[in-house]
Amino acid sequence: MPLAPPANSVETMASLMPLSPYLSPTVLLLVSCDLGFVRADRPPSPVNVTVTHLRANSATVSWDVPEGNIVIGYSISQQRQNGPGQRVIREVNTTTRACALWGLAEDSDYTVQVRSIGL
């Protein structure tokens, strides 16, 4: 089951095709920033989110720091379409703007979320 973003979130989706005819995963990016229990001002969504180094079972997602409110980190998660569960890969500090996606299954589509974490 695909992930459903919260009703008040902003989302950007892109479908990326494999870089080689021998690679098969398609990665869908869903970028939002609705984390936390108390929200003064919602942190801005990451910008220029891209997937590179696409391989049969791995890829790299990267992004740029958004302008606006203070962002203290990012949470990256991946979920196989029509597959079980969501995998939260890691939360990274603002000096790291890339994360390896791993364990991708061939001939499968994925939803990847990169979320800003604010104060």
Q: What is the pLDDT of residues 31-53, one digit of tens each?
A: 555 555 554 577 888 999 999 99
Entry pTM: 0.61
Distance between CA atoms of 37 and 103, rounded to whole angstroms?
A: 30
Distance between CA atoms of 33 and 45, rounded to whole angstroms?
A: 5
96: closest CA among 69, 119, 114? Answer: 114
List the CATH number of the domain containing 21.
2.60.40.10
Higher-confidence residue of 19 and 107: namely 107
User: 56 pLDDT exceeds 70?
Assistant: yes
Instruction: Output Rg (C-alpha) for the chain, integer angstroms.
Output: 14
Residue corresponding to tokens 């980190």: 73
Cβ burial, residue 74 (10 Å; 0-12/13-18/19+): buried
In a domain? residue 66: yes
Higher-confidence residue of 70 and 28: namely 70
78: closest CA among 37, 25, 118, 42? Answer: 25
Per the structure, the complete domain to which residue 97 belongs is given by 13-118
User: 118 pLDDT exceeds 70?
Assistant: yes
In a domain? residue 5: no
pLDDT attached to residue 69: 77
User: 80 pLDDT exceeds 80?
Assistant: yes
Give me the mean pLDDT over the 56-60 stretch.
91
In a domain? residue 8: no
Distance between CA atoms of 118 and 84, rounded to whole angstroms?
A: 29
Give me the mean pLDDT over the 4-27 stretch.
51
Best mean pLDDT range from 11-15, 75-79, 82-86: 75-79
Strand bridging mode 71-80 / 109-118? antiparallel
Number of domains in the chain: 1
In a domain? residue 3: no
Higher-confidence residue of 56 and 19: namely 56
